[in-house]
Amino acid sequence: MAESLEKKAIEIYNRLNTNYPNAACSLNHKDPVQLLVSTILSAQCTDKQVNKITPKLFEKCKTPEDFVRIDMDELMELIKPAGFFKNKAKAVKESMQIIVKDYNGNVPRSLEELIKLPGVGRKTANVVLGDGYGIPSIVVDTHVKRISRRLGLTNEKDPVKIEFDLMKIFPEDTWIKLGHLMIDHGRKVCNARNPKCEVCFLEDLCDFYNKRDI
């Protein structure tokens, strides 16, 4: 059973990769600092909106030290369109203070250290590890959760348990791109309310499709 699930996982990955060859992180960034800040800002906000905010923000704040020095009111004003700007500004500033004080201005490279930063949960940490440092990690967002369950790759509802289930069946060198592939598929085909099963190239592998009364 485990072996067949692994084969299914690889087939799913290959088909996704064929259909979305350019799947990648949609947050514009040049380094792990920018990615960390962008990911904090993206909570309950679209990546597209964050990308409108960050050019001006990153022109003003080029280093963790700049984020530490910037006036809080000015920071809040710069990130206001992202929503929840008071909490996000506080998280960004406090995270950068820790990075400057404890990590010599470098974003931590481990999950355990990243999730200790204010405003950084497991999903944000995995984004930074994978897309910032190229360290194998699986990001489980709402799209990844939904698609993994529909395809029968996991029965779990908890994102951490889903992450562990996916890590067991997908090769490590696919982990980083896997999340981006599933996110693209979730946005374009496997929608939450009205999935476009009739045009899906994964229908023969999909438990959800095969159980539907159609």
Render pLDDT for 54-90 as a digit per residue (tens, 0 to 9).
999 999 999 999 999 999 999 999 999 999 999 999 9
User: Sorting pLDDT into bands at 50, 70 and 90, what band is 1?
Assistant: low
Q: What is the distance between the terminal CA atoms of the chain, rounded to a whole angstrom?
A: 28
32-133 has the same fold as 2-24+138-211: no
- For the domain with range 32-133, which CATH number is right: 3.40.50.1820, 1.10.340.30, 3.40.50.10790, 3.90.1150.10? 1.10.340.30
CA-closest candidate to residue 183, choices 135, 148, 132: 148
- Global pTM reads 0.93
Determine the pLDDT at residue 212: 73
Q: What would the DSSP string read from start to end of the chain?
A: -HHHHHHHHHHHHHHHHHH-TT----S--SSHHHHHHHHHHTTTS-HHHHHHHHHHHHHH--SHHHHHHS-HHHHHHHHGGGSSHHHHHHHHHHHHHHHHHHHTT----SHHHHTTSTT--HHHHHHIIIIIH--------HHHHHHHHHTTS----SHHHHHHHHHHHS-GGGHHHHHHHHHHHHHHTS-SSS--GGG-TTGGG-HHHHHS--
What is residue 214's predicted lDDT score, i.e. its pLDDT?
45
Mean of pLDDT values over 86-110? 98
What is the CB neighbour count within 10 angstroms for residue 179? 26
What backbone phi and psi angles, to 5 degrees, belong to 97? -60, -45
Question: What fold, for 2-24+138-211?
Answer: Endonuclease Iii, domain 2 (1.10.1670)
Q: Is the pLDDT of residue 129 over 70?
A: yes
Q: What is the pLDDT of residue 211?
A: 86
Q: What is the pLDDT at residue 3?
A: 73
Reported confidence tier of residue 128, pLDDT bands at 50, 70, 90? very high
Position 2 scores a pLDDT of 66
Burial 97-116 (b: 16+ CB within 10 A, else e): bbbbeeeeeebbeebebbee
pLDDT for position 9 = 98
Catalytic residues: 123, 141
Average pLDDT in the 107-115 region?
A: 98
Q: What is the mean pLDDT of residues 31-54?
A: 98
**pLDDT tens digit sequence for 134-163:** 999 999 999 999 999 999 999 999 999 999
Domain limits of the chain?
2-24+138-211, 32-133
Asked if residues 27 and 50 have their Cβ atoms less than 8 Å apart, the reply is yes
Calpha distance 50→6 (Å, rounded):
36
Mean pLDDT of 23-47: 98
Task: Specify whether the CB–CB gap between 185 and 174 falls below 8 A.
Answer: no
